Amino acid sequence: SAVISQKPSRDICQRGTSLTIQCQVDSQVTMMFWYRQQPGQSLTLIATANQGSEATYESGFVIDKFPISRPNLTFSTLTVSNMSPEDSSIYLCSVEREGRTGELFFGEGSRLTVL
């Protein structure tokens, strides 16, 4: 299994500001996935981040709002830009189990509250 560390674990942010969430994995992985989990809701995929290429965004998510970096095979960042209260969510980083089995490992998540 992979160990995934996310920072910050939680934060309270002001409307209009931006926050960058970091995700560190203890092994090299090809793809990293960023999910959003709104309060009391399920997980929604934001984007898939591959090292050396631009992230692939899902419908409803755009790069200007959620820029992603993937500088190497163990690290990625997700920025939530120009935040509004609607962005209050848990943001989760995940990686696929080695061998492309489809199973994902998740970090503990970053809980953002936007005032």
Nearer to other proteins, 48 or 113 (CB): 48
- The three-point CA angle 47-54-105 to 5° equals 40
**Does residue number 107 form part of the binding site for other proteins (CB under 8 A)?**
yes
**Which window, 17-25, 60-68, 70-78, 99-107, contacts other proteins (CB under 8 A)?**
99-107
Among 57, 61, 75, 106, binds other proteins (CB under 8 A): 106
**Does residue number 104 form part of the binding site for other proteins (CB under 8 A)?**
yes
- The three-point CA angle 102-108-112 to 5° equals 115
**Cα–Cα dist 109/115, whole Å:** 19
Among 22, 45, 50, 57, binds other proteins (CB under 8 A): 45
Among 41, 72, 82, 84, binds other proteins (CB under 8 A): 41
